[in-house]
């Protein structure tokens, strides 16, 4: 395979990936990225602490999240390779940073699962169904 970039054989490493998303895949990706305990308890706790000023905090949080999302979308367009969270650190700071980013990302993803389960059960226990009251 002839290549003109400096990464040699890695150029073809993403050529087998399908570059399209259907409606179902896009919806599942969107729902998968927003489901979490933050939406269950964030609004209630923010309103209890800050009162009406919580709206300002949500606007600031939305701007920060938008900045991060736009940054990752730009990096994804610049470096269309699998493993973006790991690769970006590797590209900018070397292999050790990429390795540490990979482990930090894995630990973050795995450690969220018990918290999400606990928060979901705690939230569902406030429902008016008999089975829900027995959860917590």
Look at residue 5 in the predicted model and tell me its pLDDT.
Answer: 47
pLDDT over 60 (residue 121): yes
Query: What is the Cα–Cα distance from 100 to 106, expressed in whole angstroms?
Result: 10
Q: pLDDT > 90: what percent of the chain?
A: 4
Burial class (CB in 10 A: 0-12, 13-18, 19+), 88: buried
Query: What is the Cα–Cα distance from 125 to 136, expressed in whole angstroms?
Result: 6
Give yes or no for a contact between 80 and 7, defined as CB atoms under 8 angstroms apart.
Answer: no
Per-domain boundaries in the chain: 18-133
Query: What is the Cα–Cα distance from 8 to 30, expressed in whole angstroms?
Result: 34
Averaged pLDDT, 6-20: 56
Higher pLDDT, residue 17 or 45: 45
pLDDT over 50 (residue 102): yes
Q: At 64, is the pLDDT very low, low, confident or very high (cuts 50, 70, 90)?
A: very high
Token pair of 96, please? 């050790």
Query: What is the Cα–Cα distance from 26 to 68, expressed in whole angstroms?
Result: 19
Q: Classify residue 123 as left (phi > 0), alpha (psi -120 to 50) or beta.
A: alpha
């Amino acid at each position: 395979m002839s290549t003109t970039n400096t990464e040699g054989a890695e150029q073809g490493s993403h050529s087998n990936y399908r570059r399209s998303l259907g409606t179902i895949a896009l919806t599942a990706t969107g729902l998968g990225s927003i489901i979490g305990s933050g939406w269950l308890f964030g609004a209630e706790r923010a309103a209890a602490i800050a009162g009406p000023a919580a709206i300002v905090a949500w606007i600031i949080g939305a701007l920060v999240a938008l900045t991060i999302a736009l940054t990752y979308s730009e990096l994804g367009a610049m470096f269309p390779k699998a493993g973006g969270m790991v690769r970006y650190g590797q590209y900018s700071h070397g292999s050790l940073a990429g390795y540490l980013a990979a482990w930090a990302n894995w630990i973050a993803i795995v450690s969220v699962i018990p918290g999400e389960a606990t928060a979901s059960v705690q939230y569902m226990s406030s429902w008016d169904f008999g089975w829900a009251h027995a959860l917590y």
